[in-house]
Amino acid sequence: MVVIHSTLRAFLDESGTHPETPVLSVAGFYGDKEQWDIFRREWLPYSDGFHAKKSDGLFPHLFAAINASKVSGVLVTIGKKNYYEYANAHLKTAVGNPYSICAFLCALHICGKVQDQPTAFVLEEGQPNLGFVKEILESFMSTGRAPISAVASARKADFIELHAADFVSHIASAHEKEWMQKLFDADRLEHGHVTKELLAENSPRVTELFRQARHARNKLKANVDTNTEYENFDRTMREIMKVPHSEIKAKLDAEKLEKKRKKTKKSSASREGA
């Protein structure tokens, strides 16, 4: 089992990686040891075998644990179709897939919120690009660019703290607006949606940051200043996170309706062909 010692801890999980899901989401919750101790105490009696896809009946208890502990959540979502259509080729090569960019954005936003407090990050196992995301975060840790004290991956059985992120990433990808609204109303969640406009405009900037992150150790040894792109990317992240939630919901609704419309059209065409 992974052991972490930092006072601040952040736990990230994703949902929506299956082809039929139009929106991919990565959620992360962060807090200090005292907050996570409260979360564990409140949630542990209900946590055995929890998986958000099949545990709807436990959502009230999980929400109560999040609210009681006052851990803070960050959610980053992206339309997968938008990523593949509007991200430039360099970004796709540098990042790999929508999961990578959302996980990275989520982690970097948490770093911005905790400021200079060292934070240990735990990411849920199972994603093909998990190793790449860990590599990027570790590069920032090694160069002192972000307040990251450790990066690890674990199963939900190792850390029930991951259940909070699993819950939020699932309700985002499943478009369960009621639970998301409860978290917003309780001031426990921030949400950023990576739009096609942001992808088109910021692809070169994000690509450069990933490129620099991968070579951060060598650049550090060569005494080369790489702060500029990091600062540019920080501005990009602020742009993403300041989009009003009402606008985000409208975009997500439109993406879901468009996918449903195409599915209905395809089904009708198949019946006519038969």
Name the one residue in this structure whose structure tokens are 């949902």: 15
Which tops the pLDDT comparison, 96 or 252? 96
What was the pLDDT predicted at 43? Answer: 97
Q: Which residues pair with 23 in a beta bridge?
A: 79
Q: What's residue 45's pLDDT?
A: 96
Q: How confident is the model at residue 92 (pLDDT cuts 50, 70, 90)?
A: confident
Could you tell me the strand order of the sheet in which 8-15 lies?
Answer: 148-154, 119-124, 8-15, 23-32, 72-79, 189-194
CATH code of domain 8-266: 3.30.420.10
CA atoms within 13 A on the CB side of 31: 24
Where along the chain do its domains lie? Answer: 8-266
What proportion of the chain, given as a percentage, has pLDDT over 70? 75
pLDDT tens column, 98-133: 999 899 889 989 998 998 899 999 999 988 788 888
Report pLDDT for 127. Answer: 80
Closest listed residue to residue 205, CA positions, set 87, 31, 111, 99? 87
Span 200-255, pLDDT tens digits: 877 776 666 666 666 654 554 444 444 554 455 555 555 555 555 555 556 556 66
> Model confidence over 151-179: pLDDT tens digits?
999 988 889 999 999 999 999 988 888 99
Q: Residue 138 is encoded by which pair of tokens? A: 């570790």
Residue-averaged pLDDT of the chain? 81
From residue 25, alpha-carbon distances to 61, 104, 115 in Å are 22, 12, 24
DSSP state of 17: -
Task: Give the pLDDT score at 89.
Answer: 80
What one-character DSSP code corresponds to residue 65?
A: H
Sign for the CA dihedral angle at 65, 190, 133, 224 comes to negative
